[in-house]
Amino acid sequence: MVRYYCSGFDINNAFGHGLGDMFKAELRDTKSIVYIPGNPEKIEKAKKLYIPAFTDHFKNVGIEFEEVNLITPDLTSDEAKKMIANASFIMLMGGEPFKQKEMCEQLGILEELKRFNGIMLGFSAGAMLMSKYIIITPCSEEYPDFHIDQGLNLDELSIYPHNNTSEEIYPDKLISGEEVYLKQDLIKVAREYGKFYLLQDYYREDELFDISIIKSINGSIELYTENAGKIWEVTDDVNLIYHNPSKNNQANLKKKTID
């Protein structure tokens, strides 16, 4: 099975620069794609905006699925399970990972997701749900406290998205939009729950994106970055484990394999 843990995408070319080529090499067929929203409250937005956009991104790299399905709370458990069982590709979308998990629990599809052996991609909240632990540290009014819960634990790894910084040494305090991440909070989680990874998906002033992705192929882990994307490992400190800066803008994802 192949799984992708993504922080975010280039909204103009989500699967370009090499990602779509990997999908085409890995897909067994293109019979069905299943989208799982990151928040049931965003289902209408997913239908009207996100899924049509992703459909176009797939078409741009030569992939067209015969059937497009969306997991929603009004499905029966059997209907949702059948969608998962017949899927060629599953995308766990962004939003709120705890609400995403709750919806999947209510539909009884968590075990089906764990058993799925096709291509699965999670971005933002979706990648957090795929993780060993869903990790939230105090970072905003919306998230004022620590909130750690079990994820699907598909690959014995956990990720925390949107840790965007231009620095090569992780700062003691990182301000990203309306959220503030404290280095000491990240380390506190790692000491209690084990190491995890920070992924960057930074929209730059030059209108390019810094992308970072972790890919698992039957348990083998590969790291990918695009432009100045960064992947950090949090243990007793926060260490930059993959960064491939270039004087010129990179056109393709860059790869590193880790043990």
135-180, pLDDT tens digit by residue?
A: 999 999 888 999 999 999 999 999 999 989 988 999 999 998 888 9
The single-letter DSSP state of residue 185 is: H
Q: Which two tokens stand for residue 4?
A: 């992708």
Residue 54: pLDDT over 90: yes
pLDDT in tens, 217-231: 988 999 999 888 999
> Which residues are bridge partners to 103 per DSSP?
none
CA atoms within 13 A on the CB side of 39: 9
Which run of H or of E encompasses 212? strand 209-217
Angle at the Cα of 151 (from 177 to 147), degrees rounded to 5?
A: 50
CA atoms within 13 A on the CB side of 46: 20
Q: What percent of the chain lies above the pLDDT cut of 90?
A: 76
Q: Which two tokens stand for residue 256?
A: 């590193």
CA distances from 121 to 4, 17, 23, 129, 130 (A): 5, 17, 10, 11, 9
pLDDT of residue 16: 86
Residue 250: pLDDT over 60: no
Domain spans, the chain: 2-247
How far is CA 116 from its chain centroid?
A: 17
Instruction: Select 2-247's CATH number: 3.40.50.880, 3.40.50.920, 3.40.1500.10, 3.40.50.1950.
Output: 3.40.50.880
